[in-house]
Chains A and B, each alone.
Chain A
Amino acid sequence: MAFGLRFYIVVFFLYLFLPLIVMAAATFNDSRFPTITPWDGTTLRWFGELWADGGMWQALSNSLLVATGVLCLAVPIGISSALFLNTVSSRAKPFIYALILSPLLTPGVIIGISTLIFWRQFGVSGGIFLTVLGQATFIAAYVMLMVMARLQRFDRTMERAALDLGASQWQMFRRILLPYLKPAILSAAVIAFLQSFENYNTTLFVVGYDTTLTVYIASKVRTGLTPAVNALGLVLILITVAFAVIYEVKRRREQASLARLSRQ
C-alpha cells in the first residue's frame, strides 16, 4: 500500500511538471510552431523575437498598471473589512460576512460581466479602469481572508495597554495594530499583485480594446502562434518561481518565529 501510494505521488508530480517542462523546452526548438517533436535544432531566436514585440511590451505595461491599481484598492478594502469583522458584533454580521465572501464563490466571468453592465449607464466602457475595478472586487476578499487570519491571533490587551499609557486611537492603530498586521498585509499584497497579473476570466469582459499580458498571450495562442509565446511563458514561469520561493521562505520564517513566541 505504502509503495503504491509513493508511486502515485511520483506520477502525480510528473503530471504536474511535465507540461511546464515541455512548454519551456519548446522555446529552444528552431521550429515555426511551438513543439518539441520534431526537434529542428536549438536556438535562442524566440527570445529575440519576444524582445522586439512592441505589442507584448504594451500589454506588459498595462498589466503592471492594472495590478498597481488593484493593490491600491483591494488592500485598503481588505484591511478595513477584516478590522470591521473583528470589531463589530451585530445581527447583520453573518449576512455581511456572506456578502464579503460572495465574490470568491462567483465565477470570474460573472464579476466581469456585471461590472461591465453596471458602468455602462455612467458612460464608462471597458478598459484599464474597469479592469482594475472588476479585479479588485474579488481580490479584496482574498486580502480580507489573509489579514483576518493574523488578526484573529492579535492580543487585544496590547491595544488596551497603549490606550492606557496615553496613546490616541490613531496612534494605537498606527504604532500597534498596523505593525502587527504588516507581514500579513505584505503577503496579501504579493498575492493580490499576482492574482491581478494572471487574471483572465474577469479581465476578458472588462478590458475593452486595451490588452493585458494574459489577454495578449491568449490571443497569440489562438492566432499567429510562434514559440515566442513560449519564451514569454518561460520568463514568466522563472519570475513566478522566484517570487513563490521567496514568499514561501519568508512565510516559513514568520511561522517559525510565531511558534517560538507562543512557546515562550
Chain B
Amino acid sequence: MFAQLKARFGGPLAMAMLTLLGMWLIVMVTLPQLQMIDYSLRPNLLPAEVGGPKDGWTLDNYVTLFNNDIHRGIFFKTLWSSILVTVLTLIVSYPLAYYLAKVATPRQAALCLLMLIVPFWINEILRTYSWFIILAFRGPLNEILLALGLIERPIRFLNGDAGVMVGMVYAYILFMVFPLYNAIESLDDNQIRAARDLGAGTLRTHRRIVIPHAKPGIATGSIMTFMLAAGSYAVPALLGSPGSRWFTQIIYNWFFEGGNWNQGAAYAFLLLVLCIGFMSLVMKFFKVGLGDIAK
C-alpha cells in the first residue's frame, strides 16, 4: 500500500498520509472501541485493586442488565421506540422525497431542498427545544386545542413517550429524506409512465415500481435514523420525563452519577451491538452493501 502511494505522491507525502490515516484508524477509531469492550468485561475496582486478585475478565456487567427489570425494560423500550421512529420517519418522508424527485419542477425542487437544509443545519438541541416550547403544558399547542374546543383541559404532552417521538421524527427526518430522494431520482420516468399506461393505479405503481427501486435509499435512511434515534441523548433528556427514560440516559448515569465506568461501558457496547444488528438486518433484507450507504 505504501509502495502505491509512494509511486504517486513520493516518499514524504505518502509517509504523511499513511501516518495520518493510521493514527486516525488505530488511535482514534479502533483502540478506543477495543478498550471500551475490555472495560466492559472487567469489574469496577478501586485503583489499588487493579491488577490484583479481583481483577479479571467477567460477564458480570452484562448480567446486570438482564437482572435489572427497569434497565432491561428501558433497553427494549429504546429498541421498539427507535424502530417506531424509523417507520414514522419513513412514512412522513416518502411522499416528500417522491415529490422532490418526480413531481416538482427543477426550480421548485431546488427551492424545497434549500428549505429542507436550513433546519437541518440548526442545532439538534435548539430544534428539540422549540418542541419543548410548543408542547409545554401551557404552550401554544394546548392553547390552540383549547380555543378550538377540541380538549377541555391542557394535555401533558411532555409526560410520556409521545413528545420524544415527535421530537425525534422532527430531528432526524432529513437523514431519511435525502437518501430516499437520491434513490427515487435515479428512477427512469418512463418506467412510471409505462406502469400507468399499462393500467396500474397510484398505489400499485409505488408498490411495484418506485418502492423496489428506492430500496437502497430506504435502507440507508432507516439505518441512519435508527442509529440516531437509539443513540439520542438530547431529545429524551429535553422532551422526556423521568418515566420515559432512554437507554443512553442510563449509560450516562453509570458514568457520571453511578461512577461505574465498567458497567457503563457494558451498556454502551450493548447499544452499539443493537445498532450493528439493526444495520446488518436491514442491509441483508434490502440486499445493499456498505458502498450504497456511503453515497
Q: Given A108-B231, A244-B121, decide whether A170 and B133 contact each other with a Cβ distance below 8 A.
A: no
Minimum CB–CB distance for A45 against chain B, Å: 18
Which B69-123 residues have a C-beta within 8 angstroms of A? 92, 95-96, 98-99, 103, 110, 112, 114-119, 121-123
- Whether A37 pairs with B9 at a CB distance below 8 angstroms is no
Partner of A77, one of B24, B140, B234: B24
Contact, CB under 8 Å: B118 / A23: no
* Interface pair A35/B136, CB less than 8 Å apart: yes
Residue of B nearest to A5 (CB): B99
Contact with B along A1-42 (1 / 0, CB 8 A): 110011011001101111110110010000000111100000
User: Which DSSP category, helix, strand, loop or mixed, fits chain B's interface?
Assistant: helix
- The residues in A between 169 and 186 inclusive whose CB is less than 8 angstroms from any CB of B are 169-170, 173
Q: Find out whether the CB atom of A200 lies under 8 angstroms from the CB atom of B233.
A: yes
Interface contact B32-A98, CB-CB below 8 Å:
no
A90 sits at the interface (CB 8 A): yes
CB distance from A5 to the nearest CB of B (A): 6
Chain B residues 120-162 with CB under 8 Å of chain A are 121-127, 129-134, 136, 138-140, 143
A177 to chain B, nearest CB (A): 9
Give the size of the chain B interface in residues (CB under 8 angstroms): 85
Q: Which residues of B contact A211 (CB under 8 A)?
A: none
CB of A80 closer than 8 Å to a CB of B:
yes
B63 at the interface (CB under 8 A from A): no
**Pairwise interchain contact B126-A118, C-beta atoms closer than 8 A:** no
Instruction: Tell yes or no: A44 within 8 A of B by CB.
Output: no
**B290, A101: Cβ atoms closer than 8 Å:** yes
Give every chain B residue within 8 A of A22 (Cβ-Cβ). Answer: 130, 133-134, 140
Instruction: Flag if B21 contacts A218 (CB, 8 Å).
Output: no
Residues of B within 8 A of A115 (CB): 28, 32
Which residues of chain A come closer than 8 Å to B294, judged between CB atoms? 101, 145
Q: Which 5 A-B pairs have the closest CB atoms?
A: A107-B231, A19-B130, A169-B10, A114-B32, A118-B32
What is the interface of chain A, defined by CB distance below 8 A to chain B? 1-2, 5-6, 8-9, 12-13, 15-20, 22-23, 26, 34-37, 76-77, 80-81, 83-84, 87-90, 92, 96-103, 105-111, 113-118, 120-121, 133, 136-137, 140, 145, 159, 168-170, 173, 194, 198, 200-201, 204-205, 214, 217-218, 221-222, 229, 233, 236-237, 240-241, 243-245, 248, 252
7 contacts between A and B (CB under 8 A): A20-B122, A107-B272, A110-B231, A113-B255, A201-B232, A240-B118, A240-B122
Residues of B within 8 A of A (CB): 1, 4-5, 8-10, 12-13, 16-18, 20-21, 23-25, 28-33, 35-36, 39, 92, 95-96, 98-99, 103, 110, 112, 114-119, 121-127, 129-134, 136, 138-140, 143, 170, 173, 202, 223, 227-228, 230-234, 237-238, 248, 251-252, 255, 261, 264-265, 268, 271-272, 275, 279, 290, 293-294
